[in-house]
Structure 1
């Protein structure tokens, strides 16, 4: 989701310190249960599917729906920009 400044962006989404997130990314530590719940709250079923080897079908469907909604929102934003630029 954030190929650049990952820790800073995840920190902004979750309220978890960027330093802590950097340690996870460097594999120096792993999220606590509390931190994982914060991540889950921010990223939903997509996150759970990403960390599971074989997510159940219902969770996979929920993640796909989440991605669809995110893409539709991006399309709506781009459409709005196109319409605003045409004026």
Structure 2
């Protein structure tokens, strides 16, 4: 098989024909049976995926790497509190649609946002949010955060100039 046709699987479907349904109906007639659920890769699977990719001349950066030392959860909390010093969780929930209780847990260090929540926060607050979560920022992220902040300040400046002109 050519290298471009080879695929390394990191997830498998756990629903469908032959898988028991929780609704009591046959799995083939339930809506849930039409969905796939990704399962985390085992260490052995991660290693096999890296070896397979290496053998095909590809690379899988970060597969199997422990990123916990690179993430700054306190930085995320500081960033969100800098935007909303009072009632931070309530305001962030209003901006993002994420649950207030989850946000309170993140701010108090009880838990950290998952993938979907992190993407939602990044889409709402831009590259500065992502930069706040990383201890050693890659150049591209640092540059994107600075450019985003500059654009925000320029918009504020234009707004102030327009307000001054109207006086």
TM-score bin, normalised by smaller chain: 0.7 to 0.9
Q: Which residue of 2 aligns with 1:78?
A: 160
2:123 to 31, 34, 41: 41
For structure 2, the residue ranges without an aligned partner over 5 or more in a row are: 1-82
Superposed displacement of residue 78, structure 1: 1.9
Superposed displacement of residue 63, structure 1: 0.4
Higher helix share: 1
Alignment of 1:24-35 (within 5 A): 24-35=106-117
Count residues with an aligned counterpart.
85
Superposed displacement of residue 83, structure 1: 2.5
Q: Are 2:85 and 1:3 equivalent residues in the alignment?
A: yes
Report the RMSD for the aligned CA atoms in angstroms. 1.3
Q: Are 2:126 and 1:19 equivalent residues in the alignment?
A: no
Alignment of 1:49-60 (within 5 A): 49-60=131-142
Instruction: Work out the CA distance in 2 between the residues paired with 1:41 and 1:3.
Output: 20
Q: Which residue of 1 aligns with 2:145?
A: 63
For structure 1, the residue ranges without an aligned partner over 5 or more in a row are: none
Please tell me whether Structure 1 or Structure 2 has the larger radius of gyration of its CA atoms.
2
